[in-house]
Amino acid sequence: GAGVSQSPSNKVTEKGKDVELRCDPISGHTALYWYRQSLGQGLEFLIYFQGNSAPDKSGLPSDRFSAERTGGSVSTLTIQRTQQEDSAVYLCASSLTPRGGPSYEQYFGPGTRLTVT
Amino acid sequence: LAKTTQPISMDSYEGQEVNITCSHNNIATNDYITWYQQFPSQGPRFIIQGYKTKVTNEVASLFIPADRKSSTLSLPRVSLSDTAVYYCLVVENDMRFGAGTRLTVKP
């Protein structure tokens, strides 16, 4: 079946502009995650959605970052007034079950490479 | 919060067995240990998960001692295509991948 998809695959934007990154999770997956990965670094957790619960936004680095998940499916990560340090690969993942516990597995999308010039 | 510590990098040769050890001294009773693999320009993918003792699948084995303060991912007879970054996670309320271990397999 279809995996997690993200769009666009690449995005180049000018400093100060807003960008929107899209994630389509695997159908039926209740949990959705956003991560950021700078070149050669590990993954930095940004935000977690689980069903209809309030999202865990503890990883968002500043108030310029926000995310929403509509209808429990598609999610959009918005970065306002982009800065050069926002340049990174933004990865989305989904899981069938909430985080934690046995048989818990995240499925990752290919990522969106964001370059802020 | 449980924190994991792994070597930054490792080198190996084709056909060898590779063991990557991860420390997680503050692991909680309900935590599972999960390993992911990430190739360049791709998102991570799940390899294996365990709670205690030994778990084996078609890709790897995971050894967890009784105190669960560490775990070892074992990759049998690695090939060039196993060159990747390997992440150890202790799953709780946060998802912290850390920097992982960059494994380079040489011919």
User: At CB < 8 Å, which residues of chain A contact B?
Assistant: 4, 33, 35, 41-43, 45, 48, 56, 58, 91, 93, 99-111
- Please tell me if residue B3 touches chain A, with a CB cutoff of 8 Å: no
Nearest CA in chain A to B97: A43
pLDDT for the residue numbered B97: 78
Question: Taking 90 as the threshold, does the pLDDT of residue B95 lie above it?
Answer: no
Flag whether A62 is in a domain: yes
pLDDT for the residue numbered A90: 98
Mean pLDDT of A91-111: 84
Q: B20 vs B10, B57, B66, B102, CA distance in Å?
A: 8, 16, 18, 10
Tally the domains of chain A: 1
Percent share of chain B, pLDDT over 70: 93
- Return mean pLDDT, chain A: 92
Mean pLDDT of B94-100: 75
pLDDT for the residue numbered A74: 95
Cα B70 to Cα B7: distance, rounded to the nearest angstrom: 13
Flag whether B4 is in a domain: no
User: Which tens digits make up the pLDDT trace of B58-77?
Assistant: 999 999 999 999 999 999 99
Flag whether B3 is in a domain: no
Q: For residue A58, what are the domain limits?
A: 5-108
Highest mean pLDDT among A45-54, A77-86, B31-40, B47-56 belongs to A77-86
Mean pLDDT of A62-71: 94
pLDDT for the residue numbered A104: 77
Question: Taking 90 as the threshold, does the pLDDT of residue A22 lie above it?
Answer: yes
Q: Which of A43, A91, A94 to mutate to probe the B interface, most B CBs <10 Å?
A: A43
CATH code for the domain in which residue A52 is found: 2.60.40.10
User: Which tens digits make up the pLDDT trace of B45-60?
Assistant: 999 999 998 999 999 9
Q: How far is B88 from chain A (nearest CA, A)?
A: 11
Question: Taking 70 as the threshold, does the pLDDT of residue A85 lie above it?
Answer: yes
Is A45–B94 a contact, with Cβ atoms under 8 angstroms apart? yes
Which among A56, A93, A101 has the least Cβ separation from residue B32? A101
Flag whether B29 is in a domain: yes
Q: Which of B97, B101, B102, B104 to mutate to probe the A interface, most A CBs <10 Å?
A: B97
Flag whether A65 is in a domain: yes
Percent share of chain B, pLDDT over 90: 72
Flag whether A114 is in a domain: no
Flag whether A47 is in a domain: yes
Flag whether B89 is in a domain: yes
Flag whether A116 is in a domain: no
Q: For residue B71, what are the domain limits?
A: 9-106
Flag whether A117 is in a domain: no
Flag whether B2 is in a domain: no
Flag whether B61 is in a domain: yes
Tally the domains of chain B: 1
Q: How far is A8 from chain B (nearest CA, A)?
A: 14
Give chain B positions within 8 Å (CB) of A105.
34, 46, 49
Which among A42, A103, A111 has the least Cβ separation from residue B97? A42
pLDDT for the residue numbered A3: 93
pLDDT for the residue numbered B94: 56
Q: Is B45 within 8 Å of A108 (Cβ atoms)?
A: yes
CATH code for the domain in which residue B81 is found: 2.60.40.10
- Return mean pLDDT, chain B: 91
The string of DSSP codes covering chain A is: ----EEE-SEEEE-TT--EEEEEEPPTT--EEEEEEE-TT--EEEEEEEETTSPPB-TT--STTEEEEESTTS-EEEEE-S--GGG-EEEEEEEESS-SSSTT---EE---EEEEE-
pLDDT for the residue numbered A66: 97
Range in A95-104, A107-116, B43-52, B66-75 the model is least confident about: A95-104
